[in-house]
Each structure stands twice: as structure tokens, then as C-alpha cells.
Structure 1
Amino acid sequence: MAENGETTAPAAEQPAEQVKMQVLGQFVRDMSFENILAQKGLKAEGRPNISVQVALDAKKREGADNQFEVAIKLNVKSETENAAETLFILELDYAGIFHIENVPDAQMHPYLMIECPRMLFPFTRRIVHDLTRDGGFPPLNLDTIDFVQLYRQDMQRRAAAQQAATPADAPVN
């Protein structure tokens, strides 16, 4: 008990400072849309097969405290039902600049690869929608991306690659 009769909580029970995230800017770093169907003078018949590949990138900005750049890289390919012809290819690299405070170092990587892309995704989805529509196709509405699952898969892939790179008979320290 303190001298004035109030109880004081041990330091371990003090609430941690709240995480602060601010989006400082968003931008298209690179974008490409190829309407191969129109270039070749083909006609699309049937329902197209669409594949979407997602990659994430994050890095600390040099010379700026607590600032990070996070990018969503999409590669979308649409093919005819039998995969005989490519209809269009869309590549988008969309980035955001974030000011982030009060995230422990051990949690920063997952925070950057999960929470920041969640903030960027609605804008990325809108660009893909508009670009496919303006490119002469029905607008493509991307399904919601589970960035937690994407992060887990990436961590499993990295662990497997690291394990494969380490010889089985090498001593472990």
C-alpha cells in the first residue's frame, strides 16, 4: 500500500501502451494490364479461369523513425476454360507508408505482414475492379484475402526452406 492508502499495481500489471498506426500515404508503385484477347482478336467463350497470386513485402524506411513501407503485389491471370488461351494478365504493386508505434520488436514482422496489408487491401481490390472493367472485361471483385493464413504459409515455407538448407548430420548449437 502506498502512504496515502491507495494500492499500487506491480509494474508487470501496468497496461502496455496502445499500438498506434497511421497511414501516411498509399500509391501504385507499378501496374500493368495486358488485354491479350483484344491483341490477338480472339473471342472469349465460356467461363474464364482466374488465378490470383499474392506476395507481400515490408521494410523499414531509412531515415524515418517508426516508418515502414508495406506492399501488396498481385499477379492476376485469366485464361479460357480449357486454359488454351490467355485472356488478360494484370500485375499490380500497391504500397503504403505507415507510422507505427508501441509494437514490440518480436511482433513487428507479423504486424507489418498482416495488419498493414489489411488496411491496403480495399484500395487494391478497387484498382483491380476498375482496371479489369476499363480493360474490356467484367469487373473482377477479388475475394477477401486471409493475411493471417498467408503469413502462416510463408513462415512454414521459410522454415521448410531453412530446414532443407541445413544438412541433417550438421551439429546443432
Structure 2
Amino acid sequence: MADEGDVLTDLNPGAGANGADTAPTAGIISQYVKDLSVENPKAPESFQWNEAPELDVQFNIGANPVNDEVTEVELKISCTAKTAQGTAYIVELSYCGLVGMRNMPDDQKHMFSYAEAPRFLFPFARAVIADAVRNAGFAPLMLDPIDFQGLYIQQLQQRGEAGFSGEGSITGGEAN
């Protein structure tokens, strides 16, 4: 046990009177699968195909305010595997997180909603997709990591914005 002199007693020295919480804070409150669709349109023929499929992975990030301090951040990921014989599988996932943000300027809320929150949610969405593809009868699809902050900055530059518009979405894709 620590001596009394070694214990931190005032963790927020800038707090207002009567313990008012004025420091900026943000975090994930909850996360969940909002929608999941798995299609295996050519089964059982697709299990006989020897050709490696071409993968098309697309994603979109959206943010919907729930109230003044909570925003639902939605990470939509669509994965399609095709060969010359046809489509092997299609997986579409809408993975969401409730994000709490308090005492933050609007530009920081926007950045957190479209860059940081998706970065926190992505590993869980990646696992859901890997399991869905495996459960469809194929080798699990392990998506490559995504640089959400880099994409956020790129989208702002493409729109010619120094700041943000307040609403919108971030999209991207990769083909393997």
C-alpha cells in the first residue's frame, strides 16, 4: 500500500468548482453489429472452384448524433469475392459504436467521429467479417489495417476544406 504522500489526490486540478467536469473527454460507450448480410450465391459449386478470387473491399464511415454528448459512429464494410466462374461470397457489415464526447470543440468531435472511433471499432468489425466468411465455408478473410486518420485528412483535402463540414461520411476501398 502506498504512503499517503505518494497517492494522487487531485487527478483533475483544472476542474471547476464543486467538481464540475470541464476537461475534454471522448470514449466508446458501446459497440454492436447493426446489420450483417452474408451471401454464398453459388454454393455448393463455389467450393469446387480452384481459381483464387478477386476481392473488392469497400467501406464507409458515418456519424449520427444521438444527443449532445453521444454519437453513433457506423463503419460499413462490403467484401465481394469473385472469380471467372462467378461470385463466391458477399459480406456486408454495418458495425456501430456509441461514442461519448464531452467538452470538445466541433472540429475535434468531427475528427474523433470519423478518424479515431473507426480506428477503435475496426478490429472488432474485422473479426466479425473473418468469422462470417469462415462460416460461409471459405478461408477467413483477414482485412488489412486501415489508416483512418490518413483517410480523414485525405478526404478533407479532396473537399478543399481546412476544417470540416460538420456532417458527411468518409469512404474508401481496396482491391486485392
TM-score bin, normalised by smaller chain: 0.7 to 0.9
Contiguous gaps of at least 5 residues in structure 1: 1-13, 161-173
Q: What SS class does the counterpart of residue 42 from structure 2 fall into?
A: helix
1:34 equivalenced with 2:39 (yes/no): yes
User: Matched residues in 2 for 1:111 and 1:24: separation?
Assistant: 14
CA distance in 1, matches of 2:143, 2:24: 29
Which is bigger in relative contact order (C-alpha 8 A, separation at least 6)? 2
Look up the match of 2:171: none
Give the 5 Å matches for 1:15-94: 19-38=24-43, 41-42=45-46, 43-61=48-66, 64-80=67-83, 83-94=84-95
Aligned counterparts of 1:46 and 1:156: Cα–Cα separation in 2: 39
Letter of the 2:49 counterpart: A
Alignment of 1:82-161 (within 5 A): 83-159=84-160
SS at 1:103 equivalent? coil
The one-letter code sitting in structure 1 at the alignment partner of 2:113 is L
Kindly report the root-mean-square deviation, in angstroms, between the aligned alpha carbons of the 2 structures.
2.2
Rounded Cα–Cα distance in structure 2 between residues aligned with 1:150 and 1:79: 26
Tell me the distance in 2 between the aligned counterparts of 1:156 and 1:35. Answer: 38
Percentage identity across aligned positions?
37
The one-character-per-residue Cα deviations of 1:62-100 (angstroms, maximum 9, x if unpaired) are xx33111101001101011xx451111110011110111
Aligned to 2:10: none
Number of aligned residue pairs: 141
Structure 2 unaligned residues grouped into runs of 5+:
1-13, 15-21, 162-176
TM-score (ref. length: structure 1): 0.73
Distance in 1, matches of 2:110 and 2:122, equals 18
Once the 2 structures are TM-superposed, how far is the Cα of residue 36 of structure 1 from its aligned partner? 1.9
